[in-house]
Amino acid sequence: MSPLASYRRLFELAGTTYVVVAFFARLPLAMSQLGTLLLVSGATGSYGLGGLSAGALAVANAVGAPFAGSLADRLGQRHVVLVQSLAGAASLTLLVALVHGGAADLAVVGAAALAGLTMPQVGPLARVRWRPITARTGAQQRRLVDVAFSYEGAADEASFAVGPAVVGLGVVAISPSGALLLAAAMLAAFGTAFALHPTARKVRGDGASLPTGRLVTPVLLVLVGAQLLIGTLFGATQTGTTVLATEVGQPGLAGLVHAMLGLGSALAGIATAFIPERIGPERRILVAAGALLVLSVPLLFVDGLLGLIAAVAVLGCAVAPFMIGVFTLAERVVTPGRVATAMTVLASATGLGYAVGSTIAGRLADQHGYTAAFAVTVSAMACALVLVSLAQRRLRAALAPSVAEREPALV
């Protein structure tokens, strides 16, 4: 089956409604961080408080996601995502109300953290649904699941390009409050639709006991490390981009430039389905890691926005293939009853890596400029290449069909 035929078959199995709902349901998370930063900093005049609030939202989401994933493994996605969607929408609305009510800084930060804690990680949970969706496709299933993960990687990257753009339009057309309330409304509507869609029934938990089976293995730790480093790339690159755009007098273009990373990555994610099946995910992430290192080096030599746009767009072409390989590996090697937990753990690692990258890059940029921030990107990709190179034998063993050849659990 050709990649294009595989995409058509996937969308036939899931239905157009599901594909649309699952994409729009992940936009509020992509919108909320920038929306919070603009709302709080604009209303209070403090970029420090705005940054702290946005960071609290991101970190709380990263910390809470694995627990929500574990509940989804146990109880099924329907109940967990429904509660999260409504609670997340309410929390974003509360945040807007507190900011405009002149609430104390601690209350504002706390509301932002509550919003992050309650918002669902739709992308990882959508990945979990594809195996049961394709359950009756026989020998075609592995290929269809691989293509589904290519699509999901592209959809995630597209959401993190579209989300901030929607926030920007909302700020211009309405206000920062309007943009964040739009995110809340989308979360309530599309998050609820995602939770109640019939595909959610295909991943029901039994609710009787905690999910069994190994979760934390040496292989999963490698994959978590890989996602932590790719998150560091996001944080450091966005920081360097912001500093450079500010230095050349075009701070408003920083978001647009960074969106090029997501655009290049989304296109590459779709194209990943054309990679021959014989090239396993462990080899794909090795090649992608090497490409990320090579393609990140030009960032050290950019001195203007045009050069930066080109460098970031090309760099993005290696991001999605790397992440798709990581998530595909996790789906194959983790016990079926723990897949949702594993997916959300990987998403959390990406978020924490973003915080690490932006923090380190920000401090270095204060002292040495944007080139130092981009050096964090290059360093993270060098570490990623070393990590996946050393882990190749372990990853291949984990992919072997015999359970005896897989890695022993640590916990």
Domain boundary among 186, 210, 234: 210
Summarize pLDDT for 346-361 with one digit per residue, the tens. Answer: 888 888 888 788 778 8
Whether residue 308 sits in one domain with residue 383: yes
Beta carbons of 365 and 239 less than 8 angstroms apart:
yes
Average pLDDT score over residue span 289-306: 93
Q: What is the reported pLDDT for 153?
A: 77
Q: What is the reported pLDDT for 240?
A: 83
Is the model's pLDDT at 55 over the cut of 50? yes
The pair of structure tokens assigned to 369 is 């400029």
Task: Look at 8-17, 20-29, 378-387 and tell me which has the smallest mean pLDDT.
Answer: 8-17
- Per the model's pLDDT, the better-predicted residue between 293 and 411 turns out to be 293
Whether residue 216 sits in one domain with residue 206: no
The 8-class DSSP code of residue 336 comes to G
Whether residue 224 sits in one domain with residue 126: no
Q: What is the reported pLDDT for 409?
A: 44
- Per the model's pLDDT, the better-predicted residue between 97 and 275 turns out to be 97
Whether residue 350 sits in one domain with residue 254: yes
CATH number at residue 297: 1.20.1250.20
Q: What is the reported pLDDT for 336?
A: 66
Whether residue 270 sits in one domain with residue 182: no
Whether residue 146 sits in one domain with residue 3: yes
The 8-class DSSP code of residue 187 comes to I
Average pLDDT score over residue span 305-317: 89
Q: What is the reported pLDDT for 107?
A: 93
Average pLDDT score over residue span 371-379: 93
Q: What is the reported pLDDT for 242?
A: 74
CA 146 – CA 398 distance, rounded (Å): 17
Domain boundary among 179, 210, 241: 210
Q: Is the dihedral of CA 87, 93, 98, 99 positive or negative?
A: positive
Whether residue 242 sits in one domain with residue 157: no
Q: Domain of 11?
A: 1-210
Summarize pLDDT for 213-272 with one digit per residue, the tens. Answer: 566 778 889 999 999 999 889 888 877 887 888 787 776 666 677 677 777 777 777 777
Whether residue 219 sits in one domain with residue 204: no
Q: Mean of the per-residue pLDDT values for the chain? A: 82
Summarize pLDDT for 162-216 with one digit per residue, the tens. Answer: 777 777 777 777 888 888 999 999 999 999 999 999 888 877 654 444 445 566 7
Q: What is the reported pLDDT for 405?
A: 40
**How long a stretch of residues is the chain?**
411
Whether residue 156 sits in one domain with residue 117: yes
Domain boundary among 191, 210, 229: 210
CA 147 – CA 145 distance, rounded (Å): 5
Query: In angstroms, what CA-CA distances link 19 with 7, 112, 155?
Result: 11, 29, 10
Whether residue 230 sits in one domain with residue 144: no
Q: What is the reported pLDDT for 238?
A: 78
Whether residue 171 sits in one domain with residue 79: yes
Q: Taking the CA of residue 348 as centre, how many other CA atoms within 13 Å lie in the half-sphere pointing to its CB?
A: 22
Summarize pLDDT for 328-352 with one digit per residue, the tens. Answer: 888 777 776 677 778 788 888 888 8
**To the nearest 10°, the Cα dihedral for 65, 357, 218, 296?**
120
Q: What is the reported pLDDT for 91?
A: 95
Average pLDDT score over residue span 317-323: 87
Is the model's pLDDT at 158 over the cut of 50? yes
Q: What is the reported pLDDT for 411?
A: 42
Domain total for the chain? 2
Whether residue 78 sits in one domain with residue 96: yes
DSSP string, 346-375: HHHHHHHHHHHHHHHHHHHHHHH-HHHHHH
